[in-house]
Structure 1
Amino acid sequence: MITGGILFLALVFALIWNVIKGKSIVALLPFFFLPIVMIGWTAIKSFSYDNGKINIEKTANEVAKNPADTTLRVKLEKSIAAFDTTRAANDPVALNNISSAYYALGKYNEASIYNQKALSINPGLPQAINLKAGIEKQVAVKNSFEHSIRQLNNSVAAADSSKAALTPEATQKIVGILKTVKQPVYTDEKSSLVIAKALALVNKNEQSMQVVNKVLEANPQSQESLQLKKNIETGKFKTVAVDSAQTKSLDSKKFNFIIKKAPPVKQ
């Protein structure tokens, strides 16, 4: 913009000089277009940047309220990709908006990186301080969930290797984990199927099938999900013989997973 302004003033000076000298100014007129574009481009870029910053914040809030909306998530990802992150390097509000967007998408590592950048510039930014607490909370939930999945996976593997139905001790362990598992906002196909298998093992076929169907909504071609659904329908799981009070306590537990669709395979 500065260069465009200097060029514009130089052309004005040349225009006045030609008028004073009685020379034609026609040849100079086309050159005025260049500084106008140079000055205007900066304003356009500035408007685009500010608009992008606001758009990311708005869409992130919408995704946070409707995390299952795939269209909104895709819109937010595109907004982040199109945003001028280089210019945002010294803008704590913009950096925190990007952090908030990644947070809404369940990408907590990226969210933490941009949140830290925002706080390094302005340690007292209220929205960044609040977001930091939210990120830490969700990371703790995610870590707890992954720990529960590892425990369930071991129990499922042990049940698969046994020819007998689950022992009361094994049932108690699986039910205990399922009752206390902390669900993150988003989960993946593999973890969801571990929970579905565990539910089927303790005779909670309806809840198990709900989880399997959610996986199939996200990935209709999942062979593991299709096989698990078939196994549940045909009663191939070696479940507990009697639905005890312990397993009945799972009835009120909701497994409302939001499973992200698998990215398309590049040919």
Structure 2
Amino acid sequence: MAAARRLAALMLAAAMCAAAPAAGVPVWEPGDPLPDMAPDATVEATLGSAPAIPMARPDSAAPQPTQASQAERRPETAQDAADFLCARAPEGTTVPVPPPFDGWLVRVCAAQGQALVPVSGEAWVAHGSADPISILALAPGATPPGGAGFDPRYDIRFTAFAGEEATEARRARADALLVAATSNGARPPAYDAVWQLDAQSNIALPGETEGARYNLFFYVAGTRPRHIIACLDECRQALYLDVLNGAEAAEVLGR
């Protein structure tokens, strides 16, 4: 194993959960970027690269879907709930989140690019804080594309998701990550299972040619995740998250 190293906290954007509009669809409004996290929010581990779940890569020779016109991609009206939840996304610009993760998070088409946010009634916060977090397809340090017709809602996107329960070697690594993330030798929280979701972005990190890849570890107690470790760049960057619900989530999201 490599020597212990401190993994930098991800600069992920906050997501504030707003009340549903008349249509009754929950909406998450993007907030401001978070400052650098305190040391107890970082992950320090003696692990090597996080294990990746194999996922199909788009066939570069396959015909590309027809892109919507700029007028269709940039409506003059304000973004509504259906738009934010990607219901109007042009063909080929979204991919579905697989189960059981689709019961724990939602992919949204936000103004700064696609993002993963918790389901309505829950909140993800940096461990030990009240700072809401979402996971952006535009990873920290990555540079977005530009040009005529550029629309971040669809041109900064996730291109593939793959997930499964972490067992054997993957479970051992996930367990070790949480132990390392638990500060000052405290006892790690109890959980029954770990599920790993890999999320591929279409935007590469500096010096890379392929899109950034997140490894998201969901620590599940009963049927719901209670904690998440979000890894980027083979866990060279990581953030430890608490999953809040009920009154705790309402208090955080109501600020």
TM-score category of the 2 structures, normalised to the smaller one: under 0.3
Q: Which has the higher contact order (CA 8 A, sep 6+)?
A: 2
TM-score by length of 2: 0.19
Higher strand fraction (1 or 2): 2
Larger of the two Rg values belongs to structure: 1
